[in-house]
Amino acid sequence: MSATAESKTKFEVASLDEMEPAPQHEGRLRKHVRSELGILGFGINAYGTTKADVPVIREHDESSPWSNGHEELYVVVSGHATFTVDGEEIDAPAGTLVFVADRNATRGAVATRKGTRVLAIGGTPGEAYRISAGEASGDWYAHYEAKQYEEGLAVLEATLRDYPGNPFLYYNIACCESLLGRRDEALEHLKIALASHEPFVELARDDRDLDPVRDDPRFEKLVA
């Protein structure tokens, strides 16, 4: 980092090659550009692949409760990808920009060349940038993977104070409570999550985390 004493203007210089990647599934890599550089005004991350024919941008939309309803701009920095936006395929060699304004549009990209890298930049029109509930609660998952359900629950509950009513948080709170044997709390929070986000109903029907409450008539009613 460098700064000029006169103006107090600060700037950062970084290299995607030198940023530590967070491994994802199927040879996909994620680099946390926004948090690495301390960016507060917009969302930006970099995604890459260690091989061809794997997703470089997972298929998703921006209408889910763990996202922010962003407009998104994707910039293919290196390699080659095929984007699909609401069923329409887009050939995207290095230098291609794909802008998706519709939060409900399903989008994703598959790397057709090893070493493909894509920048994803997002923001909500007319609103100050705020990280999503999914990112804000990101630490809970490491606790969940380690079966530290109390610690994971604490992260989710703390995040809920900043994102009140968020069904993504309520759903995962219910899962942690279920695994901790807190049947009544789990079912109450699951009820809130399913009422707020209907797609969670189908997820709950087969979610192993909810096995401890599955025999409860209240659960059967919720997922009916």
* Residues 101, 150 within the same domain: no
pLDDT for 70 equals 87
Ranges of the chain with pLDDT below 70: 1-9, 23-25
Residue 83 lies in a domain: yes
Would 7 be classed as within a structural domain?
no
Q: Under a CB-based contact definition with an 8 Å cutoff, are residues 136 and 94 in contact? A: no
Q: Give the range of the structural domain holding residue 153, as residue numbers without chain letter.
A: 133-223
Pair (118, 17) in one structural domain: yes
For 11, the 3-state DSSP assignment is strand
CATH number at residue 187: 1.25.40.10
CATH number of the domain to which 22 belongs: 2.60.120.10
Q: 2 in a domain, yes or no? A: no
What is the pLDDT, as a whole number, of residue 68?
77
Question: Are residues 99 and 159 both part of a single domain?
Answer: no
Residue 147 lies in a domain: yes
Does 147 share its domain with 98? no
- The domain boundary residue, chosen from 95, 123, 151: 123
- Name the domain boundary from 123, 147, 171: 123
167 inside domain = yes
CA distances from 153 to 37, 76, 164, 181 (A): 29, 37, 15, 13
Say yes or no: 164 and 219 in one domain.
yes
Q: Is 196 a member of any domain?
A: yes
Q: What is the pLDDT of residue 29?
A: 87
Q: How many domains does the chain have?
A: 2
Tell me: do 99 and 160 sit in the same domain. Answer: no
**8 Å CB contact between 21 and 48:** yes
pLDDT score, position 201: 96
- Give pTM, 2 decimals: 0.76
